[in-house]
Amino acid sequence: MSELTAIRGMNDILPSETPSWQYVERAVENVLASYGYAEIRMPLVEKTALFQRSIGAVTDIVEKEMYSFDDRNGDSMTLRPEGTAGCVRAAIQRGLLGSPQRLWYAGPMFRYERPQKGRQRQFHQIGVESFGVPTPDMDTELILLCDRLWQRLGIADSVSLQLNSIGNLPSREAYRDALVCYLEKRLDQLDEDSRRRLDSNPLRILDSKNKATQALLCEAPRLADYLDDDARSHFSRLCDLLDAVGVSYTVNERLVRGLDYYNKTVFEWVTDQLGAQGAVCAGGRYDGLVLQLGGKAVPAVGFAMGMERLVLLLQEHGSVQERPEADIYVVSAGSEAQREALVATQALRVAFPDLCIQQHVGGGSLKSQMKKADKSGASLALIWGEDEVADNSVSVKFLRENAVGQARQINVATNRLEKTVRSFYAS
């Protein structure tokens, strides 16, 4: 093996996998279009400060996971670790926020982490963001959109919705103080990671996986008790609407999300089928971010889904059907026959733009060409040899089980080939 290998955590998506990817991408694009969302494409690289000021300076992402570098002018740039910051920046800078906007984007994100199942350094997200609508019906729409997509992909049974409200900044700060106060009195019962979080990001302690810590939290102050009326009614309206449509969810009071910009609604679609990586899709409301990044006070909600994780889920369910490499495989013996075959094949491609018609290349005996025809999965082989050239015909061989009474091989005049193929596919 050469030492010129791919960078750790940056995977090639191989030909055997791209059908699954395309399947997911098409389904997503379809569903998004049906809800009226428009695509936006942003650069992969942004100024480092953009991420520092949006994601939150003390988050792991900004502290140790960003691919940052100085460009030739000495300005610090960063390969985007997530999409929301760039999308907000673009929306502000390009003046998209005069009226409500429904946007989506897809593409690679970069985070310097140890790779594991469902997690790599270059990974792909599809992000959906809504700007300008402060009411909970907007949050609802986004969640319904997800639900529709899971149905569409056939993975609805594998994911479930976790929901919470983390209120506005003042109530979160008040709660944070109460939580820290409570935990500081019980420092000895806290695990090491949680102790570290006590100064940096106390809310994250809530979703610690440590059992002792979780037990400790049962008696801790509850975030829900600190929400103001606005956040409370926003959340209950969201729940009402979800109930009305019949989307089931679990209110998870410990769900706080990692990025600083969220307020009010946060949600996560989780699965137990991807090892340690439970979150397939996650997001929430971020009413303050546009203002914080230099725009007007425009409310917003959004979420992102992890393509790799969706594809993994889909593959576990085996619901992507594979297509044969070719529908028709063209073989020939002799250079004159190959010439005839080439011309006829080109005409067939015009007549049947949706079929995959492969003409054998690279020579070899007719036998070896026929082997290739079989392996390609094609239903028909078209054969040109000396005899066919001599009488302007082509031999059509049916390679698969087909309609009763169908001959295994027939010889037709070249000018009747199109008609023959058409009738084969009609039946």
Residues 175-194 that bind RNA (CB under 7 A): 193
Among residues 13, 22, 30, 117, the one that binds RNA under rule CB under 7 A:
117
For RNA, the closer of residues 46 and 82 by Cβ is 82
For RNA, the closer of residues 100 and 425 by Cβ is 425
Residue with tokens 């989780």: 270
State the nearest-atom distance from the C-beta of 13 to RNA, in Å. Answer: 13
Among residues 78, 101, 125, 265, the one that binds RNA under rule CB under 7 A:
125
Binding status of residue 316 toward RNA by CB under 7 A:
no
State the nearest-atom distance from the C-beta of 158 to RNA, in Å. Answer: 13
Binding status of residue 376 toward RNA by CB under 7 A:
no
Of 30-38, 40-48, 175-183, 360-368, which part binds RNA (CB under 7 A)?
A: 360-368
Is the four-CA dihedral 40, 46, 47, 49 of positive or negative sign?
Answer: positive
- Calpha distance 268→319 (Å, rounded): 24
Spatial CA neighbour of 140 closest among 228, 245, 222: 245
State the nearest-atom distance from the C-beta of 106 to RNA, in Å. Answer: 12
Binding status of residue 388 toward RNA by CB under 7 A:
yes
Among residues 77, 190, 383, 421, the one that binds RNA under rule CB under 7 A:
383
Identify residues 248-277 at the interface with RNA (CB under 7 A). Answer: 257-259, 268, 275-277
Binding status of residue 211 toward RNA by CB under 7 A:
no
Distances (CA, A) of 218 to 116, 160, 254, 312, 315: 31, 23, 10, 34, 38
Residue 184 neighbours by CB under 8 Å, 6+ apart = 198
For RNA, the closer of residues 135 and 406 by Cβ is 406
Among residues 204, 234, 264, 360, the one that binds RNA under rule CB under 7 A:
204
Among residues 186, 296, 323, 400, the one that binds RNA under rule CB under 7 A:
400
For RNA, the closer of residues 233 and 409 by Cβ is 409
For RNA, the closer of residues 64 and 296 by Cβ is 64
Identify residues 320-349 at the interface with RNA (CB under 7 A). Answer: 333
Count of residues interacting with RNA (CB under 7 A): 71
Binding status of residue 397 toward RNA by CB under 7 A:
yes
For residues 132 to 171, the per-residue mask of contacts with RNA, x marking binding by CB under 7 A and - elsewhere, is ----------------------------------------
Binding status of residue 395 toward RNA by CB under 7 A:
yes
Residues 141-154 as b or e (16 or more Cβ within 10 Å = b): bbbebbbbbbebbe
Spatial CA neighbour of 267 closest among 191, 177, 186, 160: 160
State the nearest-atom distance from the C-beta of 388 to RNA, in Å. Answer: 5
> Is-contact 167 226, C-beta < 8 A?
yes
